[in-house]
């Protein structure tokens, strides 16, 4: 529950606010290093700090770790590394379509790949534009529900938007 609240704070405010929420775990004698999910999210909350130490170990079982590592490589102008990670990915969610399109554009797959790359970006972006309008209100609703221990409420899955290089959280 604390991790969900931290992820909501990341979407609503910033990484510092999210990390502050996770400090509640420390007061309960829980080590933040004991959970792969929390270690992943700390990389996200800290704008990629320790990404190369944490994310590669998580690629096989936290799908967002792959996306976040690609974003990390793109932010650090390591396009070839980003391409190697995402080249065989069959996109199924908007973030994957957008990232695959961006990586291919930066990698230089022009010519016959231009139409494909533009389709990836169009599919991902169209979906994101529909989702963006309600991401923050749902995160806010979820956060306020947490105060009431989720009584008479629903669990909210907040999708992240990978536009502009922001990192994804795992919920």
pLDDT at res. 3: 83
- The Cα–Cα gap between 147 and 5 comes to 10
pLDDT at res. 150: 34
pTM to 2 decimals? 0.69
CA 26 to chain centre: 23
pLDDT at res. 118: 64
Q: 39 and 27 in contact (C-beta within 8 Å)?
A: no
Exposed e or buried b for every residue in 11-23, given b needs 16+ CB within 10 A? Answer: bbeebeebbebbe
pLDDT tens digits in sequence order for the chain, 171 residues long: 788 888 888 988 999 999 999 888 888 887 888 889 999 999 999 999 999 999 999 999 898 999 999 999 999 989 889 989 998 999 888 888 888 888 887 777 544 555 556 666 666 666 655 555 545 554 555 444 444 433 333 333 333 333 333 334 432
pLDDT at res. 77: 86
Cα torsion angle, 133, 134, 137, 143, sign = negative
pLDDT at res. 97: 83
């Amino acid at each position: 529950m604390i991790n969900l609240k931290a992820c909501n704070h990341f979407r609503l405010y910033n990484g510092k606010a999210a990390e502050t929420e996770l400090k509640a775990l420390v007061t309960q004698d829980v080590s933040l290093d004991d959970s792969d999910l929390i270690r992943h999210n700390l990389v996200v909350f800290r704008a990629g700090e320790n990404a190369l130490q944490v994310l590669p170990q998580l690629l096989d079982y936290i799908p967002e770790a792959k996306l976040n590592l690609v974003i990390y490589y793109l932010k650090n102008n390591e396009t070839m590394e980003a391409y190697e990670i995402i080249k065989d990915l069959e996109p199924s969610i908007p973030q994957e379509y957008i990232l695959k399109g961006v990586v291919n554009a930066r990698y230089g797959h022009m010519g016959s790949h231009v139409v494909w790359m533009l389709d990836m970006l169009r599919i991902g972006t169209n979906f994101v534009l529909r989702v963006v309008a309600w991401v923050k209100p749902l995160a806010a609703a979820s956060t306020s529900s947490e105060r009431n221990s989720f009584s008479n409420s629903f669990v909210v899955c907040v999708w992240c938007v990978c536009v502009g290089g922001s990192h994804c959280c795992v919920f």
